[in-house]
Structure 1
């Protein structure tokens, strides 16, 4: 134990208790103390940095996959530069730049797309030729290098010293840090944190607190599970070597060669070579608990596992052939099922916060993550959209250890894998399935996975291989999507959307409660379906959903499968004195979306009910007979056509599907996948939560003012809506269509207005009916009219190439929505 903290007194009360003294915990303590939380206690079971932080490689790469993740990484880099002056502890921070090289045309496309993204995020970046890469990195074999990008403000640091500097800064601002204290239990009452029981030198002590922060790294899952909280992560073995000193080796940029799963860092005349291999080794290998004594421990060497990486490294950097190996290192790091870390308040317990699971980018992430979490704890809401890393995206089943052990074998390698659009996970699949899964599989479905749900993404034709061939260009299912898309536009298509999240809210005050949370008017007749958003107090969008009134006191909320836990948490958090019961009923019903101009004709073959506009208008639901079963038919659409969502009890789902399929045989009924759902919705400019609309996007700027009723009385966000009406819009969500039919849009391409980058594409897909790639993106418009916004010339920058685009504020497909009311 560090003598500095020998038998330090544990306080009886604290405003927050942080569990874990790695770089993440130290950052949270530092930032809370900076905000004036002086009664913060950080408890470390052994010594600071003794889990993972001490052996991290310390790479500081500022460009991440989105604007806000880049914002956090840039914050970390800036903080680590300043920390030394503030605390007197050297952080080893060097902004010696980084370089990524591509060995294939596909990787070249990826890194050039990343460069366009960097420019949109105001990160200094330059595309360089192989010869320029060689000049910058003389030891590099460029024989097969296709291209490279250089980020001059990236760099490297000393991870352990950064943690120590953050810890010292936290102490200087009033926080207490105590080593050698093991947390036994987090105490709760009525769903809220009340305290922490810990053990110091054999004695048990209780700290009274309302806030606990789980920064326990690879111990985080088990610690959370003891409180009934889901934190899905699992450790993997992570390998690197450090050479003996190499004569004449001078300061170099950090080098990444993702096609060979390797990174290179020069440090004090030695070379560190690390790996993110595609098939990783979970640790402990049989899912055992990590030893109580684990502290600055290394794992056994496995040279056979590392040898293929080393052979590629010697070819890439020939000087390594004669360099002696000083250290062969293997240490554990924690990984998550989707390769993104966890931040925020756990939905199960109020006051239980999480900052863990950093997937080998903990050093560059923790500075910004600690800042963001501290702000979140202080203000009661995140400082900006953090949905990518929000703990509420975790599904309860994902804490299963066998699932995690299987999945993390893949997620370690994802950091350097090709980040192709539509890339699907290969491991730990098949956990959640629709009742008609086998039916769809037999008919050619190729499945993707969201929140554990297996969903048909596209349908292969007879004789066509049933798997993805990934590319940045048109993938092997592009023509399948075209046929499915056109069937929905001209005939009739059927989607299995059983993965929709379904929440039942019922009780005496259910209507009053929902009207306080929702921006639209919920108090309508039975059978009415209302499209609405739940807003935060800034007018940002917390949830995008439909609310169907089933009876006077019962409502069904339908949300995306990926946001179900988030939406449940928002409802429960905001339930006040109203008498209302909130129940997740997702598994109770399957959902079949029957869509297209021939959908009425088809459903009338199977049901004696009246589906006319008079009897069943758009935006209403009614119970129907169908085949020999019953369903609830909701007349709504996410594809912009006449159609019904059929909610069928799970036990009758297979029968109803078979009846639909048989009745539709001579009508050309086409089974459709999620890729087609997305391409149809983007032609109609329907928003997608998490991309086009987030808790940072004002509902009026997102173009959803039609779903807001300020005259109904008070609701969360109403004041922000009224203020925005007065002050005017700062930006607008615009729909774009590329005039060249060849290029593709996916997400995060740069939006160029009159020659200047002004934003990014929030979501993109191919508009098969409109004949070109379609994207949505925000355009700044302070003081401008709608006509001013549309009067500009727009281009979209894709991998460094600018492509002309048409812009519209109305949906380019069926702008008056006549087709849904046919």
Structure 2
């Protein structure tokens, strides 16, 4: 057994497939002085009992990339590390019982083919030809994934381990970690049963024990172990007689997978009776659960077994050889945690994988890039641990994990506002708006009004569809009210940092790509990665030379906090206060907003004294706050920022003053429709590390003549050769469905771009797709096509903004 060294550059805690893949990929990047610590033997957690399925299919662009990387790696890994293992590349069929499912498949096929994976839609005849034992009489069609298959999880893990050892990395088994300690040098001391080891960086890859390890760092890892049960049959004569294996089969509308295992079958349902374990003091996690399972509970699976026997009748002829019922960890959104540990310097997570085998290879690559380079090749916000903030408690995680398990294969509808774990965070106006009938959605835990049903016209819930649905007309009326009169919106949850102290302005200038606004003004600023890609966008409100508010998306709170703190100079007098929880925001906007606001405050609201993109203190009744002359809706308007205790009183005062002006509540669906018309970018949709500020047509926010800022050198190089793609708005001649996120854009039969935001602009009466297209096509008037659920619709490049191009309404 290897001896524990006294020091390593990186220590990884956990020896499952993800931990070993991470070790291998870090070593491949040249950091061979790395050590992996495992509590027991390798694979002793969830890895050993995993079914080993390897789909590339995903509704997430980034996770599809990660899984695509894994399957490609698995086909060559045996040769790459000289270890005997096989990836059985059988391909897979997914069944569709409904038109909605077929539309979902069409979109995923478009995404996959854009990434170079030859997904195809299938007819029932094609399914039967590929899988001779499949019954398809009640099926509309399906989708074919040619890269899918299965692999032995233990062999895969050992292959990664051998490859890592061959590159100089070390693996220490039977070395359970009992604590970690941050040293004055900034290094970590990792304490184990075999002694202690110091390291520069540490990775929590502890699988379903990740929360236990996270507590050593003071980190509450959002993870709940769900019992996933599958059965393995005895040999089936019809399969034994085949020369080869049948494709892996998934029936997402019923919720199970069925694949060949040697001459038998594996059936794995995701049943409605989702069962979490180890969630309270009456059911504690055992000190050691290595290579153990939960008791069988086949009654939970009866419905799914019966359906699968009708779908593939040879299943019904086979006896059950064994049942596997083991722990699979879930986060609140079902995606793993890979990246920087929130609030903890030089610590990372690569844990809580519900689909660790198919994601393991790609996760190792992504984690290694975070550790070695400080950023990743692909934007991986979908798995970044900082996407969850303080509202994510153990109870919240349990509720969401159960909901996700029950809906593991559910159709990924847009604007589905799932109920579990809600409400988590509420504005003081939540009850007021709920009494008015608002339909809410959760954004970073905050309940926000999505839309307001019209009395006697609308059902007060979202109907699910890929097409325009029941809230469409109501949202249109909200947009019209904002355009013609005045609307009011409660917008809680802006992440808000107060930055002050000598040198604060100079420090920020070195971080942002552009310029800071002058005192009394506000401005958009962009932060770039060292490779010149878009890290984040903030609104800067400048009070004095070295005193600012930095406001950003609610979901970016921990992401942007950690970035700012990581770049704060040592022994600096600069102070950063996270004041997110203390403040709320009311948006008052529309041509009559000045008339309303004038009635309740003493400020001179004229454009001469309160111009666009400026701010002033404001007193409304008993409340003191800050009014900012800006509107994400693109109309005359103000954001009124207030301590939360004043929100109800100010809302009521504005409502009373606005009744004669036709004031109307509006929600975030209307706000989104209006920001599309103004071509305002949305973080982690239109703005991500997949794109640079130059590709994003944000040139006016990039000052390459500045002495220095993060990413400047990379942007200078890109400026010289020009970005390969460019952000443009498209006007789409769509039908009843607007372009979905990451729809493919075509020109003369060639893929030339992707949609990053799509929707309907009610003020201009047109369907909009904010997009990135090949640079030579980013010219107003260029004719293109957009793939919307398998059908191509004509589109034309517009000029931003599409609505009020002179900004005269904003400045009025």
Matched-pair contact (CA < 8 Å) for 2:728–2:797: yes
Instruction: State whether structure 2 residue 558 is matched by structure 1 residue 565.
Output: yes
What is the distance in 1 between the residues matched to 2:113 and 2:98?
Answer: 23
Matched-pair contact (CA < 8 Å) for 2:62–2:382: no
Following superposition, the deviation at residue 619 of structure 1 comes to 0.8
2:648 counterpart residue number: 654
Q: 1:470 aligns with which of 439, 456, 464?
A: 464
Matched-pair contact (CA < 8 Å) for 1:120–1:758: no
Matched-pair contact (CA < 8 Å) for 1:458–1:672: yes
Deviates more, 1:66-75 or 1:90-99: 66-75
What is the distance in 2 between the residues matched to 1:372 and 1:473?
Answer: 35
Matched-pair contact (CA < 8 Å) for 1:499–1:586: yes
What is the distance in 2 between the residues matched to 1:808 and 1:579?
Answer: 47
Matched-pair contact (CA < 8 Å) for 1:191–1:349: no
2:143 counterpart residue number: 149
2:162 counterpart residue number: 168
What is the distance in 2 between the residues matched to 1:190 and 1:256?
Answer: 53
TM-score computed with the length of structure 2 as normaliser: 0.96
Following superposition, the deviation at residue 282 of structure 1 comes to 0.9
What is the distance in 2 between the residues matched to 1:686 and 1:702?
Answer: 11
Alignment of 1:249-288 (within 5 A): 249=239, 250=242, 251-286=245-280, 288=283
1:399-437 deviation digits (Å, cap 9, x = unpaired): x22222222101223430111111223211111110111
What is the distance in 2 between the residues matched to 1:776 and 1:754?
Answer: 20
Instruction: State whether structure 2 residue 412 is matched by structure 1 residue 419.
Output: yes
What is the distance in 1 between the residues matched to 2:638 and 2:181?
Answer: 48
What is the distance in 2 between the residues matched to 1:162 and 1:405?
Answer: 30
Matched-pair contact (CA < 8 Å) for 1:186–1:193: no
1:99 counterpart residue number: 93
What is the distance in 1 between the residues matched to 2:158 and 2:151?
Answer: 13
What is the distance in 2 between the residues matched to 1:576 and 1:485?
Answer: 45
Alignment of 1:562-641 (within 5 A): 562-577=555-570, 578-641=572-635
Following superposition, the deviation at residue 369 of structure 1 comes to 1.0
Q: How many equivalent residue pairs? A: 805
Matched-pair contact (CA < 8 Å) for 2:369–2:377: yes
Matched-pair contact (CA < 8 Å) for 1:91–1:159: no
What is the distance in 2 between the residues matched to 1:171 and 1:539?
Answer: 34
TM-score computed with the length of structure 1 as normaliser: 0.95
Q: 1:795 aligns with which of 770, 785, 800?
A: 785
Secondary structure of the 2:391 match is helix
Q: 1:744 aligns with which of 729, 738, 745?
A: 738
Instruction: State whether structure 2 residue 395 is matched by structure 1 residue 394.
Output: no
Task: Return 5+ residue gaps in structure 2 as ranges.
Answer: none
What is the distance in 1 between the residues matched to 2:469 and 2:343?
Answer: 41
1:222–1:450 Cα change, 3 Å: farther
1:307-361 deviation digits (Å, cap 9, x = unpaired): 22222222222222222111222111000011211111113221111101112x1
1:439 counterpart residue number: 432
Matched-pair contact (CA < 8 Å) for 1:193–1:349: no
Matched-pair contact (CA < 8 Å) for 2:54–2:149: yes
What is the distance in 1 between the residues matched to 2:300 and 2:461?
Answer: 28
Instruction: State whether structure 2 residue 303 is matched by structure 1 residue 308.
Output: yes
What is the distance in 1 between the residues matched to 2:716 and 2:159?
Answer: 45
Matched-pair contact (CA < 8 Å) for 1:68–1:385: yes
Deviates more, 1:315-324 or 1:142-151: 315-324
Following superposition, the deviation at residue 505 of structure 1 comes to 0.8
Instruction: State whether structure 2 residue 805 is matched by structure 1 residue 804.
Output: no
2:525 counterpart residue number: 532
Alignment of 1:81-96 (within 5 A): 81-96=75-90
Q: 2:289 aligns with which of 290, 294, 300?
A: 294
1:97-146 deviation digits (Å, cap 9, x = unpaired): 11111011111111112112222222102111112112211222212101
Matched-pair contact (CA < 8 Å) for 2:588–2:637: yes
Deviates more, 1:323-332 or 1:608-617: 323-332
1:210 counterpart residue number: 200
Instruction: State whether structure 2 residue 18 is matched by structure 1 residue 24.
Output: yes
Deviates more, 1:40-49 or 1:343-352: 343-352
Secondary structure of the 1:169 match is helix
What is the distance in 2 between the residues matched to 1:48 and 1:785?
Answer: 52
Following superposition, the deviation at residue 711 of structure 1 comes to 4.0
1:702 counterpart residue number: 696
* CA root-mean-square deviation: 1.7
1:741–1:102 Cα change, 3 Å: closer
Matched-pair contact (CA < 8 Å) for 2:335–2:353: yes
2:682 counterpart residue number: 688
Instruction: State whether structure 2 residue 545 is matched by structure 1 residue 552.
Output: yes
1:442-496 deviation digits (Å, cap 9, x = unpaired): 1111111121111111112234432222111222211111111221222211111
Secondary structure of the 2:510 match is helix
Matched-pair contact (CA < 8 Å) for 1:339–1:414: no
Matched-pair contact (CA < 8 Å) for 1:468–1:476: yes
Secondary structure of the 2:88 match is coil
Matched-pair contact (CA < 8 Å) for 2:528–2:711: yes
What is the distance in 1 between the residues matched to 2:761 and 2:561?
Answer: 33
